[in-house]
Structure 1
Amino acid sequence: MTDRKTHLDGLAVACLVLCCVLWGLNQAASKATLADVPPLLQMGSRSLGAAVLVALWSARRGIRLSPGTNGTGPAGLLAGTLFAVEFGCIILGLQHTTASRMGVFIYLAPFVVALGMPLLGRRVAHAERLGTVQWVGLVAAFAGVAWAFAEGFHRPSAGQRQWWGDALGVTAALLWGCTTLTIRASRLASAPAEQTLFYQLAVSGLLLIAASVATGEAWPAPGALRAQAWWLMAFQTVVVTFASYLLWFWLMRHYPATRLAAGTLLTPMAGLGAGVLLLGEPLTPRLLLACAAVAVGIVLVNRPPRAP
């Protein structure tokens, strides 16, 4: 499929739900892996590993990844840098807050996309705009998340620095939204999904590994890692960072970015369930209400326009 859709069809919805479930599980997997692999090394390793898989996939399909083929180098470098800082914030934040809370806060990214897309109207053809009902949905979700964030100051369940981990999650959301806008406003919008993903993985992998070395993280010996750590890293690298992100960028190329970004608000619910069921994290009323507000936002944002 090479045409661009104006709405989410059945295929897009199915792919989006699959991505959301995998991303929700990924927060729990990342936090569980911290017991064996330090944060920056963990993120850098999985990015570089997935970059190799994307390169092999592209070579098999005859897709050229060199920036010289379509002049996407500068945009790819910017997107990769934003990607690196975003995931650095996520993994560092997971040391101070729960995976459940992180899974909610990082999905404020749709607000950034919704606010930014109209500003790109002169540069991006047919920039997606939200109607009144869609804005109400986004505001409802934001209000619920903001109320849950305040819990980190009054009744922290993950330690006194929970607010700092929550703030890093919100920062990651801002960076994710900026990455989406960078892709849509540059030549990456018409580049193969594999090339866009390779830029982000290769650049972020190198930057995160360099940051790990610069900060003096203690690298564990491969033979000292538990089997659980290997399986968790394999899940993060192959299933999430390679397969699901490749699918996401394919969706970004063929469907409206605003609708897709709003649809990813399903992920907090998957992340909340994973954190509670797999990691035994507390389920607070505020966090539950935040997820409920997100669900309402999803319904409103994806409500079809009224027929004339």
Structure 2
Amino acid sequence: MKKIDYAVLLSLGALWGGSFLFMRMGAGAFGALPLAGLRAIGAALCFLPLLASRRRLAEWREHGWPIAVVGVTNSALPFLLFTFATRSLPAGVASIVDGMTPMFAALIGWLWLGQRLDGWRGAGLVAGFAGILWLVEGGLKVAPGAGMGLLACVAATVLYGYAVHYSHLRLASVSPLVVTIGSHMVAALVLLPTTVLAWPTQPPPMQAWLAAAGLAVLCTALAYVLFFWVLARVGAQRIMVIPYLIPAFGVLWGALLLGEPVTMRMLGGCAVILLGTALTTGRVRPRRALRPLAVEET
């Protein structure tokens, strides 16, 4: 990989880790429903010029229903759940739970599709859930509603994991850019009514508006454009480093810009969750466990 590729991968970790910072900054003033809606609507407006292609429009129309499912499970509901969570949880804690997405994808692949889950991958699942329980025990004492916030984060990551497999099954032949554009359009339409109905009675301050703009433009529209650009350059295997960068940047931005304390519980939970994710996805494996895999592949 070239230096520009490393820079873009780091930028994506910083942008998606920063989404938890922006949600934390704006959720109190807007509320979960309006802020999630603004994120989806703003991103959809940014993507709108990319639809100026008959081929893309035709592809979207042909696969409209599966794209709509992805829009709900990979955008609308996770946006809402994470925004709800950050009303009571520190941005760093929410980003740590988001790091479990590859782990839940592996679990869903095993339960739903019968994909292989050997002993080390199973140990990774156990470790990841242990990290969550560690955070939950401390999170219940952080602030009112923190326990529900953690459950909302877990639900969002489960939805992400489901959407990964659903997209692979139903949309493998569709351009990823079309899926991304179409799914965010659907998310915007789904969240528009509740955004209007739940609009805050008090005008949100400028800081909250800037947070909403950052979520929509930087952490969603720009991040996805960068993602597909670097994916085409480095491939799917190397792009998997991003889920490990998101929690690190989420904790960093929360500490630097919001003054969130970085506790030993947070660091320990983050380490255990990332270890579990690495084992479950096969990113880390003892040498003896790697040999049979190499034989099978040949």
Sort the TM-score into its range (normalised by shorter chain): 0.7 to 0.9
Aligned residues of 2:41 and 2:192 also touching (Cα < 8 A):
no
Match of 2:157 among 164, 168, 173: 173
Question: Structure 1 residues 150, 45: CA separation in 2 closer, same or farther (over 3 Å shift)?
Answer: same
5+ residue gaps in structure 2?
Answer: none
- Count of equivalent residues: 284
Residue 53 (structure 1) aligns with = 46
Match of 1:275 among 245, 254, 278: 254
| Structure 2 residue identity aligned to 1:51 | A
| Structure 1 residue identity aligned to 2:136 | F
TM-score, structure 2 length as denominator? 0.80
| Structure 2 residue identity aligned to 1:21 | A
Alignment of 1:122-161 (within 5 A): 132-133=119-120, 135-153=122-140, 156-157=141-142, 159-161=143-145
Shift, 1:52, TM fit: 2.1
3-state SS, counterpart of residue 30 of structure 2: coil
CA distance in 1, matches of 2:28, 2:189: 23
TM-score, structure 1 length as denominator? 0.78
Deviations 1:24-46 (A, max 9, x none): 11101111123443322222122
Residue 65 (structure 1) aligns with = 56
Shift, 1:220, TM fit: 5.9
Question: 1:201 aligned to 2:150?
Answer: no
* Higher deviation after alignment, 290-299 or 236-245: 290-299
Question: 1:95 aligned to 2:99?
Answer: no
5+ residue gaps in structure 1?
Answer: 1-8
What is the root-mean-square deviation of aligned Cα atoms in Å? 3.2
Residue 5 (structure 1) aligns with = none
Aligned residues of 2:71 and 2:185 also touching (Cα < 8 A):
yes
More helix by share: 2
CA distance in 1, matches of 2:113, 2:201: 46
Question: Structure 1 residues 146, 220: CA separation in 2 closer, same or farther (over 3 Å shift)?
Answer: same
Shift, 1:137, TM fit: 4.3
CA distance in 1, matches of 2:110, 2:127: 20
Residue 164 (structure 1) aligns with = 148
Question: Structure 1 residues 19, 219: CA separation in 2 closer, same or farther (over 3 Å shift)?
Answer: farther
CA distance in 1, matches of 2:60, 2:131: 45
| Structure 2 residue identity aligned to 1:180 | V
Residue 290 (structure 1) aligns with = 269
